Structure 1
Amino acid sequence: MKSPLLAIMLALSAAFPAVADVLKIKKDAPKQYVVKKGDTLWDISGIYLDEPWLWPELWQMNPQIDNPHLIYPGDALALIYDADGNPRLVINKAYRKLSPQGRITPKGTNAITTLPLEMIKPYISYEQAIDSDDIKDMPYVLGANENTKTQTLGHILYVKGDLKVHKAYAIYHEGEPYTDLETGEVLATRASYVGMARAFRTGDEQNGVPSSLRVESVKREIQQGDFLMPAMQGQLLPAYFNIHRPDNAVSGHVIASPRQVREFSTMDVVVLNLGRDQLIEPGHVLDLERQSPTVIDGPRGPRYPEDSSKFEKLLSDASQLFGDESDEENTTWTMPKEKVGELIVFKVYDKVSYALITKNQHPIRIGDIAVIH
C-alpha cells in the first residue's frame, strides 16, 4: 500500500531543491514513530525537524516507496541514514508484521491532513472577510413572520433581493472592519456566519415584494440587516495544503484576531494585512518578527524612551531632525527586528488572509510583522 501525507510531500519537494547541507534532525527525535489519529503533517514534521516544511527532504531517494500518496494512522515511520549520512524516513514494514493490530484505522478517507482541520475549520466554515462595498450589494434580511428582533429555526425570513427558489443561502452578520495598522485603510469587513435558509418564494424588488426563505439551521440568532450569500461560497475546506515559502519577499502585519484578543500562541488564528494583491497563497509559511524597542543613550546612560526624561526625549528628537551636531551627548539607537514565531496562511482574500500560528518563542501580538526577506 502506498503511503496521504506524501503526495503533498513530493509536491513540496519541488519547491525546495536539494540542499548541500545534511538535514539536521532534532536530538530528541525518535527512531520510530507510529502515526496516530489526529496527527498532521505539521505535527510529525515538528517531531524531527526545527524547520517542518523541509520534511519532504527526508523522503528523497526512498526505495521503499515508488509512488507515495498518503500516510495513515497506524503506519510506523522509521528514521534511518543513507550511505552519505543523510537522514531518511521510511515506512517500517517489519512493524506491520510484528504488530498486526498496529493499523488502527482502515485506509481510505482517513488519511492524515496537512494542518489540524479541527483548529481552522471554524474560520473556513464560519468566517469571511468581505469588501464593504460588496456587502452593500448583497441581499439582506428585512424581517420575518414573527415580529421579533431576532429570528431562529423554523422562522420565515423576508429578504430584499431576488433569490432562486429551492436554493440554500448562508446568512452572515456584518462585524468590525479589518484595517491597516499604518495607513488606516479598511481592507475588508469581518462577516460571521449565523445560519442557513432555503428560498421557497421569489420576490419582486421593483414592486416591493420580498423573497421568502425558511430557516433550516441556526448558529446564533438572525437579525434584521444580516446579509445572504450562496450557501457554499467561501466555505470550501481543503484537507491538504502545499506548504511552501513565498517566492518573493513580502512584509505585512498581524492586524486582528477573530477571537478579538491581543496576544496569541501556537495554534491560534490571526488576520494579516496580506492577500492576493501581495501574491499570498494558502500554504505560504511566513516568519513573525517584532521590532525591538528603541534606546536613548545619554549622560545618564542607556534608557528606553518611556524611562527617559522629557528633556532627553526632546534632545533625542532634535538629534534625529538636525543631526548629531544638535546634541552630541544623546544618541538614539534603533534596534533590529527579532524572530518571534512562524505561521501558515490557510485562507486568502484580496487584501487580508487568515493564518495559523505554528511556532512562537514569545506571545504573538497585534502589530507583529509577518515577513519573508
Structure 2
Amino acid sequence: MRYPLFAAMLALSATFPSLADVLTIKKDAPKQYVVKKGDTLWDISGIYLQEPWQWPELWKMNPQINNPHLIYPGDALSLIYDEYGNPRLVINQGYKKLSPYGRITSKGKNAIPTLPLELLRPYLTFEQALNVDDIADKPYILGANVNTKMNTEGHIVYVKGELKLHESYAIYRKGDAYVDPQTNEELANKAQLVAVGRVFRKGDITNGIPASVKIEQVKREIKAGDFLMPAIEGQLLPAYFNMHRSEQPVQGEIIASVTGLREFSTMDIVVLNLGSEQQVKEGHILDIERQSPTVFDGRNGPRYKEDSNSLEKLITNASEFFGVEADADTTVWHMPKEQVGQLMVFKVYKNVSYALIVKNQHPIRVGDFAVIN
C-alpha cells in the first residue's frame, strides 16, 4: 500500500475548468517519462505544458492515477489522448521496474510533491508581516535573569503582557517596513523570528510581576523590546491550495524580496503590496508585467527617454505630468506593459502578501507589476 505524507506536500487542488478545452502540449514533449527522485508534479507538468499550474487537467479522469500525488520515482508515465482529443498522463503498467519482488513496502515518504515545500517552509513558519498597531499591542520582553543586553538558549526572560501558562510563544523582532511605492505608505513591518520559549510562570501585571518564559530554541540573540506571539499564530496555511485566478481585476507591485535582492527568478519568493484588503487570497495566480520604456520621438528621431538630453527629458516629464503633447515637433510614446512571468500567492496579510514566482521569461525585479486583468 502507498501512504501519502500530506504534511510534507504543498498540494494544489484545482484550476480553471475551462482550461481543459485549450490545454496544449509542448511540441517537444516526450511520449513517455520515467519519474526520478527529486521530481515534483510541477516539474513533470512543465515538461508537457507551457503553464505547469494547469497540471490538474493533464491528470484528470485518469483511472490509473486516482490521486496524482501518489506517483513515485521509477513510475513510467505515458502521454495519451482520450476520445475527445484531450491529452492525459497515465501510468504505463507495461513498464517493468528493475526492483525485487516478494514484499510490500510503504513508499509514502517517497511520493513526489507538487512543489518543493522546502523552499516555502521558512516563509510558511517564520516570516510575518504585521502593522505597527498590531506590534504595539503584543507582550514584550522587559529583561532576563542575567544582566545582559542579549540573551540566548537556556535563559529566562521576563515579559510584560498576558501569557498563558505552559504555552509556547515565538519571540519576534520588528524589522524594516514594507512601503507602498506609489503612496509611500507603510503597509506592514517585517517581523523576524528570534526565538521560541515556554511560559512557566504566568505573572501578574496589576501587581507589577512579569510573566516568566524559559527559552527553548534560539535563532538570534534576544533583546529587550522583542515581542511575543503564540507560536502557532500566523504559521498555519491550508494543506491544499486552490490554484486559480481572482474573478476581480487586481493590480499591485512587487515591493521587496525576502532575500533583499532586486532581481530574482523561478522559485524565489517576493512580497506584494496586495493583501486581503485587495481581495487577494492564497492560491491566486497573478501575471507579472513590466512597463516597456517610454520613447521620446522628436527632431533627432525616436529615442528612449533615458537616452534623451536634459531639455528633452524636461519636456517629456512636463508632458507626462500635464497629460499633453510635448510640443509640435515631438511626441511621447507610452509603451504597453508586457508579461514577464507568473507568481502564486501563498501567504496573505491585510495589505501585503508573500508569493512564489512560478514562471519567468526574464529576471523579475522589484517594481514589476503583479496583475489579474
| Length-normalised TM-score, structure 2 | 0.90
CA distance in 2, matches of 1:231, 1:349: 17
The answer to whether the 8 Å contact 1:80/1:88 transfers is yes
Which residue number in structure 2 is paired with residue 198 of structure 1? 198
% of aligned pairs identical? 61
CA distance in 1, matches of 2:337, 2:90: 39
| Equivalent residue runs for 1:5-154 within 5 Å | 11-13=13-15, 15-17=16-18, 19-21=20-22, 23-65=23-65, 67-68=66-67, 70-74=69-73, 75-95=75-95, 97-100=96-99, 106-154=106-154
Which residue number in structure 2 is paired with residue 255 of structure 1? 255
Which residue number in structure 1 is paired with residue 166 of structure 2? 166
Which residue number in structure 1 is paired with residue 272 of structure 2? 272
Q: CA deviation at 1:8?
A: 5.7
* 1:168–1:61 CA distance, 2 compared to 1 (3 A): closer
* 1:105–1:146 CA distance, 2 compared to 1 (3 A): farther
Letter in 2 for 1:72: I
CA distance in 1, matches of 2:217, 2:197: 7
Q: Deviations over 1:45-65 (max 9, x none)?
A: 211101112222223343434
Which residue number in structure 2 is paired with residue 368 of structure 1? 368
CA distance in 2, matches of 1:101, 1:272: 50
Which ranges in structure 1 are unaligned for 5 or more consecutive residues?
A: none
The answer to whether the 8 Å contact 2:10/2:117 transfers is no
SS in 2 for 1:77: strand
CA distance in 2, matches of 1:88, 1:146: 65
The answer to whether the 8 Å contact 2:289/2:337 transfers is yes
CA distance in 1, matches of 2:190, 2:104: 41
Q: CA deviation at 1:109?
A: 5.0
Q: CA deviation at 1:354?
A: 0.5
Q: CA deviation at 1:122?
A: 0.7
Which ranges in structure 2 are unaligned for 5 or more consecutive residues?
A: none
The answer to whether the 8 Å contact 1:16/1:54 transfers is no
The answer to whether the 8 Å contact 2:288/2:340 transfers is yes
SS in 2 for 1:85: coil
Which residue number in structure 2 is paired with residue 349 of structure 1? 349
Letter in 1 for 2:361: Q
Letter in 2 for 1:94: G
Letter in 2 for 1:212: S
Letter in 1 for 2:72: P
SS in 2 for 1:158: strand
Q: CA deviation at 1:353?
A: 0.7
CA distance in 2, matches of 1:25, 1:81: 11
CA distance in 2, matches of 1:252, 1:116: 26
| Equivalent residue runs for 1:191-230 within 5 Å | 191-230=191-230
* 1:317–1:179 CA distance, 2 compared to 1 (3 A): closer
Q: CA deviation at 1:19?
A: 4.3
CA distance in 1, matches of 2:353, 2:93: 41
CA distance in 1, matches of 2:67, 2:157: 51
Letter in 1 for 2:372: I
Q: CA deviation at 1:38?
A: 3.3
CA distance in 2, matches of 1:82, 1:32: 16
Letter in 2 for 1:17: S
| Length-normalised TM-score, structure 1 | 0.90
CA distance in 2, matches of 1:69, 1:26: 20
SS in 2 for 1:346: strand
